[in-house]
Each structure stands twice: as C-alpha cells, then as structure tokens.
Structure 1
Amino acid sequence: MIFQLIDSDREILETYCSSSSGKKDYIRCTVLLSLDQGKSAKELSEILGIDLSSIYNYVKSYHRSGLSGFISSNYLGFWSKLDSFELAALDKELHSHLHKNCQSIAYWIKENLGIDYAVKSLPSLMKRLGFSYKKTKKIPAKADKIIAKDIQVLIERLDSENAVLLYSDAVHPQWNTRSNYGWIPTGEEHEIKSISGRKRINLIGTVNIQNPSDILISESETVDSLSVREFLDKVEDAYLDKSKIYSVLDQASYFKSYLVQDWVYDPRIELIYLPTYSPNLNLIERLWKFMRKKIIDYEYYNTFQKFRANLLAFFEYIDDYEDELRTLLAPNFYIQFSKTNFY
C-alpha cells in the first residue's frame, strides 16, 4: 500500500497523536503516520495487533473525509465543545506560546476557532491536554552575552598566543554537614551528625580550562580587594612562562574594584567579566560543587581544624580526581544566543 499525507496534515496529525488520551485514537493516528513513513500494512498489523481491514478502513476514512473528518468522527463527547481537529490546533498553540491565564486561552479559542469557551471550564481541559499551571523556570537573563563558539575560538587561539584561560572565583565553605541524597532502605532514615557552627573558610581559586587539574587556591581571612590583588599576584607568578593570561571573573565587587583594576598594569593579564547572575558560565562553580560533594556532604568533622585540613587536602591532592574533572570541567554551557564577543 502506497500512502502519503499532505504536509500540513502530517504536522497536525503528529500534534494530535501526541495529545490523544484514548488508545483507539492513538492507534488510528499511528497507522496513518507509519504508512506515511513507508511501513507496510502487514508490518503495522503485527506491531499494533490489529487486523488489516482496520488499517484499510482508516486510510479510506482519511481519503473520504479528509483529516478533519478522520480525527473528529465519533470522538467528540469527552472533549466537550472542541472537536479533535480544533484540539490539535489548540495543543499546537499552547506548545508554541505561553498563555498566562485561562482568559487568554479563551480569547485565543474565540478569535481562532470561533467558539465561546467558558473560562471556568478551561482548567480541566488543560489537564486533559497535558498542561499544568505552574511557575516559569528562571535562567540567567544575560546568558546570550557569551556562547560556546566564542569560547571555542578563544581556546583555539591559546596555543598560538602562548596563553592560558583561567576561570576564577571565591568560595566560603561552612563548617557543617550538608544533607544530600543517597540510596536508603524504604521506610528508614540515614542519620548524619551535624553541628550548628558558623565558622567558614574563605578561598579564592582559579582553574585552567586546558588542564582541569591545574588549580590554584589561596586561603585568606576575608575576601576583599586586597586579598584578590594578592591572589592575582600568585596567578601572575604561576604563569610566568605565558605571554597572555585571560582571567574570567564574575561581577563581585571585590573583583571589579578600582584597587583590582588599577593593579592590572601587566599587559599579559586581561580580566574578563561575566554577565551578572550567570554562574552557569563560570567553570569553577562546578569545581566548588564537586568539592562540597566530596568533602562536605555526608561527612561530619568534630573540629574545625579537621574540617579545614580535609578541605585543603582535597585541593592539594586534586590530581586524584583528574579523570572526573576532565569531564566535569569541559567548556559546555547552557547558552541562548550571542551578539557580542567577550574578548
């Protein structure tokens, strides 16, 4: 059997099939879509467990009544005022555009389908179509300032420029146990001792994008402009063999202060500031999370000295995690679009 859908019908039928709640509706749509993709009637009969006559009847129904007649026949009661064709159109609209409330959806139905649909009846219809009323998910508003292509171009230039690209940030791990997930027998609890201490360690660190285990860490009493300047001095000394040092930083005040920016007199050093509220663009944030998982989560230290010693030992023996870090710190980011390069 040679069967082919009209392009516009194919798109609507795919949408309707994905939103269909009934098994019979789903099978009827799947038959047409599968035949359109080149599968034989015999194959479909065996796969779907239906007889060949049903398959031929579905095709005849489509040719005789068109798509509207095919998907709306005898299946209107459950969906109230909208037939299956109209439901498919609504489902496509809801997947394409965010409607803030049911009033907006009722207005769209009236304008595009010519049907007055009661606003109070729409919540149940939305649930049947597979939609929930919930909060939108926030992502960094300025993620489009940097894209993977920009970063890749810069990485490709590093060898020719004898340069290094570093991601830097401060972190303040607190002396306390953090609860986290684990496989625990159902109905039981896995208890971990904790303390109420507020003491913390202040660290500034940097990670080399080309060598994730090349990590420089500095501890200080507090993180401010002066401690950042001292840390950048260490960075400069650590890469004396490099002609160029790119240091990626966030918008923290101690990174952008005049004391820090005036200090950067060495033409080898270029400070690159990320957009505000975009920790997803700073690779070292992943290192901090990894550190917490390995050292802080699930562990109890009865003294601050033990907590500090284990934390610093983690960075001292960071090479032990080289394989994990190479995967974790790969330059893959959640990005939207970009119009501006950052270098």
Structure 2
Amino acid sequence: MIRGGFLSNAERLELRALARDGLSEARASRRANAIILLDKGWSCQEVADALLIDDDTVRAWHRLYREHGLTGLVVFDIGGSHSRLSAEQEVALFAWVSASLPRNTRTIGAWIADSFGLEYSHAGLIALLHRLNLAYRKPDLVARKLDAAKQKVFIDAYDRLMRDLAADEAVVFADAVHPTHQVRPAGCWAPKDQAVAITPSSGRDRVNIHGAIDLETGKTQMLDVPTVDAQSTILLLIAILAAHPSMRIIHVFLDNARYHHARLVSEWLAREGGRITLHFVPTYSSHLNPIERLWGTMHRNVTHNRSYATFRDFKAATMAFLTQTVPKNWTELCDQVSDNFRVIDPADYRIMA
C-alpha cells in the first residue's frame, strides 16, 4: 500500500506544473497526475480507474518516481538518455541557475535558447535540471540576525524545565496578534467546469488580541483589547492566573516586545506574589513560540476562503475559534501547535537579496 502525503510542497508544485503543461508529452502529464493522486491518498486501483490504465502501471510509475524523481516520469529511456548540451554548456547552465535563481522553467528555457540555440520542452527541461542536481525550491523566511547559539541555549533550558516540571507547575505561551477583516483566497478543489470566487471584504478594521495557550490542555486565554501594551499584558497575566488557580508556579513564555519588558509589568509582577515566572524567547526567533503556529491555524480556519459581511461577524468568528474551537478540539489541533523546536541557523542558508 502506498501511503499518501509522501511529497514535499516543492515536489507537488513541480508535478502540478508538469501535469498542466500543454507542451509536454501526454504520457508524462498522465504520470505526474498519477503521482499527485497517490500523494492525496488515492489507492493504486482508484488512480488506475480514473486514468483508464491498470493498477500495476500506477505502481510502476510510483516506483520510477521514487527511484529517479521527476526524471523518471519524463524520460522514457532512463538508461540511454543523454543531454543535448555539451559538458561545457551544462557547466555554464548550472552556474547561471546557481547565480540567478530563476523562478520558472520558462526563464531557463529562454536562456538556453538565447545562449546555445537549443529549444527544450517543459518535460525535457525538468529532466535536464534534475540530472544536473538542480531542484525547485521555495525560500524559507530566515532573519539575518538569528542567533543559533542563543536558540540552542533556549531549547536546552526549555527541555530541562519540561523534564523537571512539577505537578503544581504549568507552562503557557503568550503573544499578540492583529487579524484584519480581509478574506485570504486559498486553493481548493471544485468541479472542473465551475469557476469559483469569493467576495472580498471592504473594511480594514482589525482585532487586537493578546492571548495565551497551555499546550498540555489546549486551554486558552484570549483578550480582545483596544491596544496591545503593558496594561493588556498585565490583564493577560491576571487571566492566566485565574485559569490556573491550583498551580504554584506558572511559566509564561513570550517574545521581547517592549511592552512585555515595561516597568509597569515588572512592578505588577513584584506585587503579584511570585506565581508567574516570565521566560523570553530569543530575539527574531518566533519559531520558538508555539502560539505563533496557533495564529497560522486560526487563519486557515477563519480567514482562508471565508468572507464576513461585517467586522462584527469577523471578530466573533475569530474569537470563537480561539476561545472555544481550539480547547474543544485540542486533540485534533495539538500537532499543528506543538513545541517541536529546532535551531534555525542563517549560516545554513543562502540568503537571497
């Protein structure tokens, strides 16, 4: 049995481009379609029925893709295929792609045509690029000032805290978010002959939410505030205290926003009695605060392909998701909002200009 979900996002984009390319050989497009459907969880028999072929052929195509990548789908004689470019031209192509990082194969094909007078089909280009060890990639967002050493220290300290956490201690992650009353169009499946659209929101009003989540229980505290500042920070900490009445110590992790370090907050903590301990995530390291992942989950469920006639409706839907849906469905959502931390080192990336 072939389990779905085996493709990366970049691989899916690459296969969809091949499947939709009208200039490629039909048999290459069919193979790409088959792999895409398998990735979606279709069985080999279901794919075979849809493409009017037999299931053994589907398995053979999957094996070709697994062993040779996209080249296995577009080159129909893996052993005997050879490049139309000379070795020197291949070196020049690799150097040009490495230097310019072109966004699509059309640009690459035009450069080859201008430079060497050779025309390539989309499928042929993909085969050539894969053979030269070039792949389609989507850049990650990596801040230049990320400090890998500080991230490692933070992760080690967090792991020690969680290992030694007593039964009367809790861990909470806090942050602010400002969702705007605007629909976010996202891809979806629909009948092939049916155009789909969504009505845009005309307003630009936004909700200011200062919130917190306990990853152990999925319990949230979400404050709709006029402004996110030191005062809203104190109100959030009070709400966290009220939600954990039996806890001796509540560890609150948050970013380095100025209002989190405000003197007003420090003075309140000194008077509060010591139940709350603040821990600050390293600067530029939002990936080390799981609540940031919660905001992404919120957008996927509230703003993607969803339009709200009024700002009031939008705010109600946003707050209902964060305060009711998340705690109620935490067993289904917890994997999307986890503390599976990793170090991101800018030295491991080529930073694009």
TM-score tier (shorter): 0.5 to 0.7
CA separation of 1:80/1:198 partners in 2, compared to 1, >3 Å: closer, same or farther?
A: closer
1:293 — aligned with what?
A: 300
CA contact (8 A) 2:174 2:211 kept: yes
Q: Which deviates further from its counterpart, 130-139 or 316-325?
A: 130-139
RMSD value, Cα: 3.5
In the alignment, what sits opposite 1:326? 334
Using the alignment, how far apart are the partners of 1:134 and 1:293 within structure 2? 23
1:312 equivalent to 2:319? Answer yes
Q: Say if 2:180 is the partner of 1:177.
A: no
Counterpart secondary structure, 1:167: strand
Give the superposition deviation at 1:232: 1.2
- Render the CA deviation track for 1:67-101: whole Å, top value 9, x for unaligned: xxxxxxxx99965479xxxx9xxx9xx9xxxx879
For structure 2, list consecutive stretches of 5 or more residues without a partner in the other structure.
Answer: 1-81, 101-114, 117-127, 346-353
Cα offset, 1:281, TM superposition: 0.8
Change (3 A) 1:186 1:243: same
- Matches of 1:323 and 1:143, distance apart in 2: 32
The CA deviation at 1:165 is 0.9
Residues in 2 aligned to 1:81 and 1:300: alpha-carbon distance in whole angstroms: 55
Question: CA separation in 1, counterparts of 2:324 and 2:219?
Answer: 11
Please name the residue that 1:268 is paired with.
Answer: 275
2:147 matches 1:142? yes
> Any unmatched runs of 5+ in structure 1?
1-74, 102-119, 338-343
Distance (Å, rounded) in 2 between the aligned partners of 1:133 and 1:192: 30
Question: Of 244, 258, 262, which aligns to 1:257?
Answer: 262
Residues 195 and 331 of structure 1: CA distance in aligned 2, closer, same or farther (over 3 Å): same
The counterpart of 1:130, out of the listed 133, 146, 159, is 133
Q: Structure 1 residues 280, 187: closer, same or farther in 2, change over 3 A? A: farther
Distance 1:77 1:318 in 2: 56
- Matched position secondary structure for 2:247: coil
Query: Residue 155 in 1 paired to residue 155 in 2?
Result: no
The count of corresponding residues between Structure 1 and Structure 2 is: 230
Which residue of structure 2 lines up, in the alignment, with residue 195 of structure 1? 201
Question: Partner of 2:343 in structure 1?
Answer: 335
Please list every run of at least 4 consecutive aligned residues from structure 1 whose deviation after the TM superposition is greater than 6 angstroms.
75-78, 132-136
Return the TM-score normalized by structure 2. 0.56
Distance 1:187 1:233 in 2: 54
Provide the identity percentage: 28
TM-fit CA distance, 1:239: 2.0
Measure the CA separation in 1 of the matches of 2:317 and 2:136: 46
Please give the secondary structure, in 1, of the residue aligned with 2:274.
coil
- Measured after TM superposition, the shift of residue 184 of structure 1 is 3.6
Question: 2:284 and 2:172 mapped to 1: Cα distance?
Answer: 19
Q: 1:292 to 1:153 in 2, by over 3 A?
A: same
1:134 CA displacement: 9.0
Query: Alpha carbons of 1:287 and 1:138: their partners in 2 closer, same or farther (altered >3 Å)?
Result: closer
The equivalent residue for 1:240 is 245
CA gap of 1:309–1:134, structure 2 versus 1, over 3 A, is: closer
